[in-house]
Chains A and B, each alone.
Chain A
Amino acid sequence: MASAAAPHAYLQQQARWHWVEIVFWLSTLLPFVLFPQYLQLASQIAITALFALSLDLILGYAGVVSLGHAAFFGLGAYTAGILSKFYWGEPLSLLVAGALVAGLVGYATSWIIAYFRHLALIMITLGLGLLLYEAANSASWLTGGADGLQGVRIRPLLDYFNFDLYGRTAYTYSLIVLFLAFLVTRRIIHSPFGLSLRGIRENPVRMPAIGAPSRAHIRKIYTIAAVMAGIAGALIAETTETVSLETLSFQRSADVLVILILGGAGRLYGGIVGAIIYMVARDQFSGVNPQFWYFWIGLLLVAVVMFLPNGILGGLARFTESWRRRSR
C-alpha cells in the first residue's frame, strides 16, 4: 500500500459498486408493483432524499453546518413555479432554471459561508434563510405570500407523460432525477476533491498546508449543494403544482437536518435512508396527531445524538462489522 498508486487504488476500491447498492436501487422500483396507491408519497420521498443528499454534501462531507438550507429548496421551487405561471411550463427546462437560480444565489452566498465557522456560521445560515423567507412573504405580488403561489401550470413531461393523479409520472421522474444526482454525488465523493472535503471537515486549518485550499473547496461544494437543493425544490413545485412559503421555512431546514442525521451524515445513503424512514413514519403517524408527531421526532433526535452518533447507517455498519468479526 506504500506505493505511489495507493491513493488511486484506495479511491477505486471505494468507488466500486457493492451488491447491496444495486439491490437497493432495484428495490426503488418496487413501489410501482407493490404500492401503486402510494406513488405520490414515493415521489415526495425521492425529492426529500435528493434534498437531504444535497445537505449531506456540505454538512456530512465538508462539515459546514447549515440551518438555512431550505433557502435553496425554496428558490428552486419558486423559480419553477413562477416561470410556469407567467411564461412556460416545460418541466425539464424549469428544472434547469430552478437549479440555475439556486446555484447563482448559492455561489454568491458561498463567499460569505466560506469565511465563518461555529456559532457565527450557524447564525449566518439561519439569518440568510430567514431573510429570504421574509422577502418572499413581503413580495406577495410575485410569490402569493402566505397563501402560496396559485396557478402553477406544468406541461406534460417530454410533452407526452401527464402528471397523473396516482403519481406514476411524478415518481418515475423524481426517481430518475434522484438517481442521476446520486451518480454525480457518488463521483464527487470518490474523487480526490471529495477526499479533500473530508479533510476540511476534520481540520480546515491544516488542509491548505497539503495543498487543498479550504475556502475555495467549500465555495465549490456549497454551490453544488445549492444547485441540487434547487433541483429538488423545482421537482416539488412540478409534481405538486403548488408552491407554499413553507418550502423556505426554518421548519423545512430543520426537517432535512433531522432526516440526514437520522440516516447518517457523511454517508452516501444516509439522506436517502433517512428520508424513507422519516416520510413513511410521518405519513403513518401524522394522521393521529400532527402536533404530537414532533414529540417523537425530538425524542428520536436526542436518542440518535446520545446513542447513535453516526445515524442509523453508522449503527448498522458498526453492527455488521462486529458481527463479521465474531463469525470469522
Chain B
Amino acid sequence: MLTSLGGVLFDGFAYGMLLFLLSVGLSVTLGMMNFINLAHGSFGMLGGYVTVTLMDRLGWPFLATLPAAFVAAAALSVVLERLLFRHSYRAGELDQVLLTIGVVFMSVASAAYIWGTVQQPVQLPDYFTGSFTFLGVNFAYYRLFLIGTALVVTLLLVAGLEWTRFGAQVRAAVDNQRMARGLGINVNLAFAITFALGSGLAGLGGSLAIAMVGLDPDFAFAYLVYVLIVVSVGGLASIGGSFAAATVLGISDIAGKYYFPALGSFLIYLVMVGVLMWRPAGLFGKR
C-alpha cells in the first residue's frame, strides 16, 4: 500500500502536468473574453496528429516535432479565431457552446477521415523509454521529462504574465475588459495572441500525451471533459489555480483508478460537481 502510494503520486502528478498543459490556455482565454471554447481539446488532438505524422512519414525526431505541434495548433487557432470565433464574443454562452461543439464534431470527423479511427502508435526515442527506482518508487524518464516541461512552461507563463508589458495588458483585460479598452489597450489583439499561445500549449500537451494516453479521434471529446474540469475548478484566468486543479485531478484520477477500479471516473465527476456547487467560480477564481 505504502510503496504503491509513491508510484501513484508520481504518475498522478505527471498526468496532472499533462492536463495542465492541455488546459491552461483555455483558462486564460475564458477569463479574458468569457468565450467558452469547447474546441480547445481539438487543438490538443491536432498537436498529437502532427507529431505522429512528422515522425512516421517524415522521420523527424520526437523532440523536433514538439515545437511543430505547438506552431501548427497555434496557427490553426488564429485562423479559426479570425474566421469564426470572434463573431460570437458578444453572443450568449449557448451560441458559443454550439459553435465550438460544431468545430469539435468537424475536427473529430476530419481526424477519423485522414488518420482513421485506430490508435496511433508512437515510438519514443531510446533515452525516454527507461526508468530508475528510488526509495521503492519507479520513476519513468518520460514522465520526468513531461513534469520538467510543464514546470518550465508554468514558470515562463507566470513570469510573462507578471513581469512583461504584454502580461500586464492581459491581466488588465481579465480584470476589467471595458476599462482596459478605455486605457487604450488593444484587447482584441492581446486576446488573439493569448488565444494562439494557449492553443499552441494545448497542441504541445497533445503531442506529449500520445505516449501516455494514446491518440484517436475521440481525444478531442475525452479530454475536453478533463480540460473543463481543470478550468472550472481552478478558476478563470488563474495559472496557479489551473496548476493546483490539474495536479489534484491527475492524482485523484490515477489513485481512483488504482484503488477503486470499479468506480471508474465516478469519483472525479463527483468532486467536480461538489466543488462547483460550493464555489461556482472555482477554487481560486475571483468572479
Chain A: residues with CB nearer than 8 A to chain B?
A: 59, 65, 67, 112, 116, 118-120, 122-124, 126-128, 130-131, 134-135, 137-138, 250, 254, 257-258, 261, 265, 291-295, 297-302, 304-306, 309
Is residue B215 within 8 Å, beta carbon to beta carbon, of the partner chain?
A: no
**With a CB–CB cut-off of 8 A, which chain A residues contact B112?**
291-292
> Do A298 and B94 form a contact, CB below 8 Å, given A123-B272, A306-B84?
no
Are B95 and A309 within 8 A (Cβ)?
A: yes
Is residue B280 within 8 Å, beta carbon to beta carbon, of the partner chain?
A: yes
Chain B: residues with CB nearer than 8 A to chain A?
A: 30, 36, 84, 87-88, 91, 93-95, 97-99, 101-110, 112-113, 117, 217, 221, 225, 228-229, 232, 262-266, 269-270, 272-273, 276-277, 280-281
**With a CB–CB cut-off of 8 A, which chain A residues contact B113?**
291-292, 295
Are B264 and A138 within 8 A (Cβ)?
A: yes
Contact residue among A127, A128, A138, A306 (Cβ-Cβ distance under 8 Å from B262): A138
Are B102 and A301 within 8 A (Cβ)?
A: yes
Contact residue among A124, A131, A295 (Cβ-Cβ distance under 8 Å from B276): A124
Are B97 and A130 within 8 A (Cβ)?
A: no
Are A300 and B221 within 8 A (Cβ)?
A: no
Contact residue among B102, B117, B232, B277 (Cβ-Cβ distance under 8 Å from A291): B117
Q: What is the distance, in angstroms, from A287's C-beta to the closest C-beta of chain B?
A: 16
A-B CB proximity, top 10 nearest: A298-B105, A301-B102, A295-B109, A298-B106, A120-B280, A302-B102, A134-B266, A127-B273, A291-B112, A298-B102
**With a CB–CB cut-off of 8 A, which chain A residues contact B108?**
294
> DSSP class of B's interface residues: helix, strand, loop or mixed?
helix
Contact residue among A257, A293, A305 (Cβ-Cβ distance under 8 Å from B88): A305
Are A130 and B93 within 8 A (Cβ)?
A: no
Cα distance, A297 to B105, chains bound together (Å):
7
Cα distance, A295 to B103, chains bound together (Å):
9
Q: What is the distance, in angstroms, from A117's C-beta to the closest C-beta of chain B?
A: 9
Are A65 and B117 within 8 A (Cβ)?
A: no
Cα distance, A118 to B35, chains bound together (Å):
11
> DSSP class of A's interface residues: helix, strand, loop or mixed?
helix
Q: What is the distance, in angstroms, from A131's C-beta to the closest C-beta of chain B?
A: 5
Cα distance, A292 to B108, chains bound together (Å):
9
Are B97 and A122 within 8 A (Cβ)?
A: yes
Are A305 and B106 within 8 A (Cβ)?
A: no
**With a CB–CB cut-off of 8 A, which chain A residues contact B229?**
123, 127
Are B266 and A131 within 8 A (Cβ)?
A: yes
> Do A65 and B266 form a contact, CB below 8 Å, given A250-B221, A291-B109?
no
Are B265 and A295 within 8 A (Cβ)?
A: no
**With a CB–CB cut-off of 8 A, which chain B residues contact A119?**
30, 36, 93, 232
Are A301 and B98 within 8 A (Cβ)?
A: yes
**With a CB–CB cut-off of 8 A, which chain B residues contact A130?**
225, 265, 269
Cα distance, A128 to B272, chains bound together (Å):
10
**With a CB–CB cut-off of 8 A, which chain B residues contact A293?**
109
Cα distance, A134 to B267, chains bound together (Å):
9
**With a CB–CB cut-off of 8 A, which chain B residues contact A137?**
264
Q: List 8 A-B contacts (CB under 8 A).
A: A123-B229, A134-B264, A291-B109, A291-B112, A297-B102, A302-B103, A305-B102, A309-B95
